[in-house]
Amino acid sequence: MNTMKKPSIAVIGGGFGGIYAAIKIKQVLGISAQIFEASEDIGGAWFANSYPNCGCDIPSHLYSLSSDPNPNWSQLYASRDEIHDYIQDVARKHDLYRHTLLQTKVIKSEWVAESRKWKLDLLDCSNEGYRDLESVFYDFVFLCVGSIRVPLIPEQFKQFSGNVVHTAYWDPSIDFTNKRVAVIGNGASAVQVIPSVAQQASQLYSYQRSVSWCTLRKQYSYSAFMKFIFKWIPLVALIYRLYLFLEIELGFMSTYKNYNSLGARRYRKKLEIEMRNRIEKQGRPDLVDVLIPDFAPGCKRLAISDNFIEALCQDNVVVQTNRVKKVKGRTIITEDADEQEFDLLVLATGFNVAGFLGHLEVYGKPEQSLNKAWENEFPGLYKSTLMSGYPNMFMILGPSSYPGTNSALYMGESQVNYSVELIKKMLKDKITAVEPLKEAQDKCVEKLKTGFEKTVWKGGCTSWYMNKQGDITTFWNGTSLEFSWMLRPATSYDDFLVYRK
């Protein structure tokens, strides 16, 4: 590799992370990266998820790419359809569809030491079936597969003999009218789908292993005048975006950084009063002790909804917090021996976050498996972005990179910016490949793990953020600003193993 010859770059995944990576690679390096996307369209989680009321719980002006601000967001919190339309518009604007292979799954990525390239095994997963396995080679790989991708379907619910639908594979033809419906889970998808299903079902059982803190969404629409201002005075939109960002950052510092701080205690009290008032207003004081959690707010992801609590208080809704013991036919049996028969089962059980890589197998040097390395251990990454033993590979929005409260897009952009600037430096210095030193990576991991000790995620609950050992593997332990500061451009190769021609 030299400064005259441009390297080849593959981007695996066509969600927000992959789209921004392709944009930045083109802008900074002048290279059109090849995007591989297994689905029928770009969009990642925002293409796959289409259940009723699906939307974002981060303000829309903040949950958008800094490279492509959108002055036309209709509401404070955007719907799934509006977000997906935005991603498509961005992809068309930057001519990314021309460099995207849709319905193409990368099933294996393997480092070839002799040529210092990544070998990608591709699989055509179009409607005609799985076929045409082929291999392609690239100098650099951006892993943008995302963790909210592979639906988690607990084994026991595979025994249900009635109709089953997972929120990630929503079937809009299913009619819930006058049906007895069970909804498993109480994460973001359950919070959004339950109010809709409860309006149609004759009875709905909400099975929750542990309840969630819920705060009001306070949704509102942007007026035509505000959209006009955002469009024609971009500085106003930029200041508004900065205001939203800093407001969330300050909230994190006062309530999430230390679950026993004065700010955290005050916030918990505020939420307790708010939830109690909402429940009692519905005439269901019996649900106060059931629905208000006994752990710190934020330990599990905060539910943001104007109608979730109200839906759980409806006469046709039952909240069941006892664990499901087994499923027999169309009957669900809990540990307290309660038996209920249902017509339909809705799985709002989330995703296989712990896997991170999903169906993609990654092999570095010498033939070490990233999948196996992360299966039962804390995911080892250098600055949440590179892996020792996996040269020229960048993980975007993988382990230890999601924010606790702020926009994941900001975090992904920080990782992409760091990675692209590193490649730019490598090209200038005529370096073929780099990987972080194991010692430097271990130092990053240790600092990350110790930084979680007093945060709300260690505040007395179990969540999908944790691995089997109780470590927080999904989130970054600090503010988004601290994350971007950590990922400021590298000025030396002191932390890297360097491969020259």
51 and 113: one domain? yes
Give the tokens for residue 470.
């109780």
Residue 3 has pLDDT above 50, yes or no: no
Q: Last residue of a domain, which of 286, 314, 347? A: 347
Is residue 339 in some structural domain? Answer: yes
Q: Residue 356: which of 480, 486, 465 has the closest Cα?
A: 465
Average pLDDT in the 36-43 region?
94
- Cα dist from 184 to 271, 279, 298, 399, whole Å: 24, 21, 21, 26
291 and 425: one domain? no
User: How many CA atoms does the CB half-sphere of 166 hold within 13 Å?
Assistant: 15
Percent of the chain past pLDDT 70, that is, above it, reads 97
pLDDT one-digit tens code per residue, 100-140: 999 999 999 999 999 999 999 999 887 655 556 789 999 99
144 and 130: one domain? yes
Residue 354 has pLDDT above 70, yes or no: no
Number of H helices, E strands in the chain: 13, 21
Kindly tell me the burial class for residue 381, based on how many C-beta atoms sit within 10 Å of its own C-beta (0-12, 13-18, 19 or more). buried
Do the beta carbons of residue 266 and residue 294 sit within 8 Å?
A: no
pLDDT one-digit tens code per residue, 318-349: 999 999 999 999 999 999 999 999 999 999 98
- How many domains does the chain divide into? 2
318 and 177: one domain? yes
pLDDT one-digit tens code per residue, 210-235: 899 999 999 999 999 999 999 999 99
pLDDT at 151: 77
Residue 316: CATH number of its domain: 3.50.50.60
First to last CA, the chain: 7
135 and 198: one domain? no
Handedness of CA 351, 355, 356, 358 (dihedral sign): negative
339 and 361: one domain? no
77 and 186: one domain? no
Q: Last residue of a domain, which of 324, 347, 370? A: 347
Helix axis angle for 234-255 and 224-232, nearest 10°, is 100
Scored b (16 or more CB within 10 A) or e, 160-193 reads bebbbbbbbebeeeeebeebbbbbbbbbbbbbbb
Do the beta carbons of residue 340 and residue 325 sit within 8 Å?
A: no
Helix axis angle for 16-29 and 80-93, nearest 10°, is 20
Task: Name the residue type at position 321.
Answer: T
59 and 109: one domain? yes
How far is C-alpha 182 from the geometric centre of its chain's CA atoms? Answer: 25
Residue 433 has pLDDT above 50, yes or no: yes
pLDDT at 146: 80
Handedness of CA 388, 393, 394, 400 (dihedral sign): negative
Average pLDDT in the 383-396 region?
97
What is the average pLDDT score of the chain? 92
Handedness of CA 498, 370, 47, 200 (dihedral sign): negative
Give the tokens for residue 241.
């975006």
Q: Residue 297: which of 264, 275, 323 has the closest Cα?
A: 264
288 and 186: one domain? yes
Task: Name the residue type at position 35.
Answer: I
Going by pLDDT thresholds of 50, 70 and 90, the confidence category of residue 2 is very low
470 and 369: one domain? yes
Question: How many CB atoms are located within 10 Å of the residue 90 CB?
Answer: 20
The residue to which tokens 């033809």 are assigned: 173
Residue 466 has pLDDT above 70, yes or no: yes
Is residue 249 in some structural domain? Answer: no
Q: Residue 493: which of 396, 418, 393, 426 has the closest Cα?
A: 426
Is residue 82 in some structural domain? Answer: yes
Under DSSP, is residue 140 helix (H, G, I), strand (E, B) or coil? strand
359's CB contacts (< 8 A; 6+ apart) are: 105, 107, 150
Cα distance between residue 131 and residue 203, in whole Å: 44
431 and 491: one domain? yes
188 and 162: one domain? yes
* Residue 379, domain extent: 9-150+352-500
> What are the CB-based long-range contacts (under 8 Å, 24+) for 339-343?
340/180, 340/182, 340/205, 341/180, 342/162, 342/179, 342/180, 342/181, 342/182, 342/205, 343/162, 343/163, 343/179, 343/180, 343/181
Is residue 187 in some structural domain? Answer: yes
Average pLDDT in the 388-408 region?
94
How far is C-alpha 234 from the geometric centre of its chain's CA atoms? Answer: 28
Is residue 238 in some structural domain? Answer: no
Q: Last residue of a domain, which of 321, 347, 373? A: 347
